[in-house]
Structure 1
Amino acid sequence: MRLFVALALPSELRERVATLVGGIPGAKWVPPENYHLTLRFIGEIENWRAQEVDDALTAIRGNAFDLSLRGLGTFEKAGRIHALWVGVERNDAMTHLQGKVETALQRIGLPPERKRFSPHLTIARTERAPPEKVISFVQAHNLFRAEPVRVEYFTLFSSRLGKEASVYTPEVEYDLAVRAAA
């Protein structure tokens, strides 16, 4: 079972982000139904461990918060641009929630996340796109903004590889509104 913990996006926000799609030859665009903000990638685990993950996440207390999107950027690997993303403005409640997720998963024996938390929504894979096209796309759309949306839950997703794109299935939603931090 391949799992990750993320913030799902409401349809109006997915639609707003989807207006950016297109204009980069060779880019592989993420389908809007797959837009999410990863709090923690877990990866392949045994089915019995999935229950431990659920139990750990169920115990998390946090507060609802507003999520704001702002700007675009890229990730590079070995000097090549491999992903295009929409930025997510950091806020204390989101950072706190991500830290609680990380701590809860380490407590049940999962290894620590190696990458520093960098809130973003990946919108395209750009390994096959001309770098100058990706850079000019970012420059042309860097003033992108979306109205803030209220985040009231986080989700445990399963992921399986599909022909065109991965298929993400929400397995459990953890409601922040009824489990506010003390």
Structure 2
Amino acid sequence: MRLFVALALPENLAEQLERMCSGLPGANWVPPENFHLTLRFIGACDGHEAGDLDAALSTVKAAPFDLSLTGLGQFGEGRRTRSVWAGTQPSDELSALQSRVERVVQTAGFEPESRKFHPHVTLARFGSSPGGKLRTYFAQHALFRTLPFRVTEFHLYSSELGKGPPMYRREATYPLESLEA
């Protein structure tokens, strides 16, 4: 089982992102039902490890918060462009939630994440370079920004790879609750 921890996006936000999913040759666009913001990729694990992870994630405490998506970017350069993504407005609350998730994932026995957290929603992946169209795409969407949406929970997902886009299934939901006593 391949697992990851993520925030789901509201349907209206997914629809807004979907409208930007065109115009790049060679792009493998992410279907709107797969849009998410990964807090921590776990990878392959067995049922016992998944149970330990679920128990650890259920201990995460954080208050609900508002988040906005803003700006577009890419991972990789030139011919090595791997993906295009929508970023987030800087958020101390999101960073704190991700840190708490990382801490309990390690407590559950998983290795620390080696990459710095870079909050984003992947829009497209590439098998080959999009060429000069990428600059045009970024120019067309330079003013991208969403209204804030309320984050009230995070999720544990499993992913199944096969032909076509991965299939994601929500395995568990963890509510965010006010930290006030």
Please state which band the TM-score falls in when normalised by the shorter chain: over 0.9
- Counterparts of 1:110-129 in structure 2 under 5 Å? 110-129=110-129
| AA at the equivalent of 2:34 | N
| AA at the equivalent of 2:179 | A
- Counterparts of 1:62-73 in structure 2 under 5 Å? 62-73=62-73
3-state SS in 1 of match to 2:163? coil
Equivalent residue for 1:8?
8
- The 1:85/1:181 distance shift into structure 2, 3 A limit, reads farther
- The reply on whether 1:55 has 2:58 as its aligned counterpart is no
Structure-1 separation of matches of 2:99 and 2:67:
17
- The 1:78/1:134 distance shift into structure 2, 3 A limit, reads closer
Kindly indicate whether the alpha-carbon contact (under 8 Å) linking 1:81 and 1:131 is maintained by their aligned counterparts in 2: no
Structure-2 separation of matches of 1:141 and 1:181:
40
Structure-1 separation of matches of 2:173 and 2:155:
4
> How far has the Cα of 1:79 moved from its partner?
6.2
TM-score by length of 1: 0.94
Structure-1 separation of matches of 2:41 and 2:124:
18
Structure-2 separation of matches of 1:127 and 1:46:
30
> How far has the Cα of 1:181 moved from its partner?
6.9
Structure-2 separation of matches of 1:90 and 1:168:
27
> How far has the Cα of 1:119 moved from its partner?
0.5
Runs of 4+ in 1 over 4 A off after TM superposition: none
| AA at the equivalent of 2:47 | N
> How far has the Cα of 1:26 moved from its partner?
1.1
Equivalent residue for 2:161?
161
Equivalent residue for 1:85?
85
Structure-2 separation of matches of 1:124 and 1:109:
32
> How far has the Cα of 1:97 moved from its partner?
0.4
- For each residue in 1:36-91, what CA deviation from the matched residue of structure 2 results, as whole angstroms up to 9, or x when unmatched? 00000000011111000000000010011111010111000696111000111121
Equivalent residue for 1:180?
179
- Cα-Cα RMSD: 1.6
Q: How many residues align?
A: 181
Structure-2 separation of matches of 1:65 and 1:125:
29
TM-score by length of 2: 0.95
- Higher normalized strand content (fraction of residues): 1
Kindly indicate whether the alpha-carbon contact (under 8 Å) linking 2:36 and 2:121 is maintained by their aligned counterparts in 1: yes
3-state SS in 1 of match to 2:169? strand
Kindly indicate whether the alpha-carbon contact (under 8 Å) linking 2:79 and 2:128 is maintained by their aligned counterparts in 1: no
Structure-1 separation of matches of 2:180 and 2:43:
27
Structure-2 separation of matches of 1:118 and 1:158:
21
> How far has the Cα of 1:129 moved from its partner?
3.5
| AA at the equivalent of 2:116 | R
